[in-house]
Amino acid sequence: MTAQDLASIALPTLITVGSDDILTTPADAAHLHRSIAGSTLVTVEGAGHGHYLSDPDMIAILQAGWVHRNE
């Protein structure tokens, strides 16, 4: 996606990243967060690229809470 594409996103956006992710790094996630107005960035400490697999219950609670706040 281009910077213009990212800037055009006008929906609530949750960005999650593992602190140890080497494929989509925390710096990449921070760039997305800065580029998408009103986005939320959550870093999962100690997790890698499959951070959603490391603690799926925690991720589900995080996502459900975010959806509830952004309905």
pLDDT in tens, 44-67: 999 999 988 888 999 999 999 999
For the full predicted model, state whether its pTM sits above 0.85.
Answer: yes
Q: Higher pLDDT residue, 67 or 71?
A: 67
What are the residue boundaries of the structural domains of the chain, listed by start?
Answer: 3-69
Fold of 3-69: Rossmann fold (3.40.50)
Can you read off the two tokens belonging to residue 64? 């459900």
pLDDT for 1 = 82
CA 27 to chain CA mean position, Å:
12
Q: Which of 42, 34, 40 is nearest to 7 (CA)?
A: 34
16 within 8 A of 51, measured Cβ to Cβ: yes
pLDDT for 52 = 87
Give the model confidence (pLDDT) of 13-45 as tens digits. Answer: 999 999 999 999 999 999 999 999 999 999 999
